Amino acid sequence: MASGSTIDALGQFELHPILGSFGETLCLSQSPLFMVIAVALVLAFLYIGMRPAAVVPGRLQAAAEVGYDFVRDLAVSTIGEKGTAFFPFIFALFFFILAGNYLGLLPFSFTFTSHIAVTLAMALAVFVISILTALRFQGLGFFKHFMPEGAPMALSPILIPIEILSFLSRPVSLSIRLFANMVAGHVLLEVFASFTIMLAGLGVVGHVLAVAPVAINIALTALELLVGFLQAYVFAILTCIYLSEATSH
């Protein structure tokens, strides 16, 4: 919120304890609360949507099936037949992030995907799972991918460290991409919203001018809807790509 002439664009990312001292002891903030809400919404979407189990689906069931098919196609087309084993994981990731991103667009809500700790935890989970999968499918042959095939041996002292570095940077880029996108979007929304309040303090002229940031915020909200989907999609598809690399060869 705006206070004086400064804009506090980052205060929205602060964590506050919920449920009083009980929550404080358990380190419960609004972030886990919104995670629970997101998960509950996704599960409600699936369970309520699929309740009719109709051969000719209604709107909600069709939507649930589209969500299912979308992620399934994503997983199977990228990873191949082995992708069906990872499908629930990809589905969970995609809808967890998507619901988190979209929940954060509601006023008075909290965007847990705007916390690097959360996105890094998810990215590290993907990283660890892809390494374990690679070790299971390729055994120790996994490590020879750090030396690109066909490259001259003389270059190996340079290539191997570069390959290892690029491999290790995966969780970093994966987590920072989502985190930075969500933070940037919410900071922008907050900044323009604050402009409206600040302009409103300038009298009649300000009231008229204050319409502009509101209009920008409406456009930004639309953009955020796109970004929120896109980031969930990117996270899911990169996970699929890492897992497909791990299962192939």
Partner 1 sequence: MRLTPRFLLSAAPLAALPGRAVAEGMPQLHFGDPLLQGQVVWGALIFIIFYFILSRSALPRVARVIEKRDARIKKDLDLARQSKKEADRAHQELLDAKEKAAESARADIQSIRDKAKAEADAQSAETASRLDQEIRAAEKEIAKARSDALSHLTDIASATTATLTERLLGHYDSDTVTKAVERARS
Binding site for partner 1 (CB under 8 A): 3, 5-11, 13-17, 26-29, 31-32, 35-36, 39, 42-43, 46-47, 50, 53-55, 61, 64-65, 68-69, 87-89, 91-92, 96, 112, 114-118, 121-122, 125, 179, 183, 191
Q: Taking the complex as a whole, how short is the minimal distance between the CB of residue 218 and partner 1, in angstroms?
A: 20
Q: Taking the complex as a whole, how short is the minimal distance between the CB of residue 15 and partner 1, in angstroms?
A: 4
Of 16 and 144, which has the nearer Cβ to partner 1? 16
Q: Taking the complex as a whole, how short is the minimal distance between the CB of residue 57 and partner 1, in angstroms?
A: 8
Of 55 and 153, which has the nearer Cβ to partner 1? 55
CB-neighbour burial class of residue 249 (10 A; exposed 0-12, middle 13-18, buried 19+): exposed
CB-neighbour burial class of residue 40 (10 A; exposed 0-12, middle 13-18, buried 19+): exposed
What is the rounded CA–CA span in Å between residue 15 and residue 18? 9
Of 23 and 156, which has the nearer Cβ to partner 1? 23
Of 45 and 229, which has the nearer Cβ to partner 1? 45
Of 89 and 142, which has the nearer Cβ to partner 1? 89
User: Which tokens in the block code for residue 108?
Assistant: 């008075």
Q: Taking the complex as a whole, how short is the minimal distance between the CB of residue 182 and partner 1, in angstroms?
A: 10
User: Which tokens in the block code for residue 101?
Assistant: 């991103």
What is the rounded CA–CA span in Å between residue 47 and residue 42? 9
Q: Taking the complex as a whole, how short is the minimal distance between the CB of residue 246 and partner 1, in angstroms?
A: 18
Three-class DSSP category at 44:
helix
The answer to whether 107 touches 217, Cβ cutoff 8 Å, is no
Q: Taking the complex as a whole, how short is the minimal distance between the CB of residue 17 and partner 1, in angstroms?
A: 6
User: Which tokens in the block code for residue 181?
Assistant: 């996108």
The label of the residue with tokens 């990117």 reads 234
The answer to whether 236 touches 86, Cβ cutoff 8 Å, is no
Q: Taking the complex as a whole, how short is the minimal distance between the CB of residue 7 and partner 1, in angstroms?
A: 6
What is the rounded CA–CA span in Å between residue 109 and residue 162? 41
Of 35 and 232, which has the nearer Cβ to partner 1? 35
Of 50 and 159, which has the nearer Cβ to partner 1? 50
What is the rounded CA–CA span in Å between residue 1 and residue 219? 20
The answer to whether 37 touches 103, Cβ cutoff 8 Å, is yes
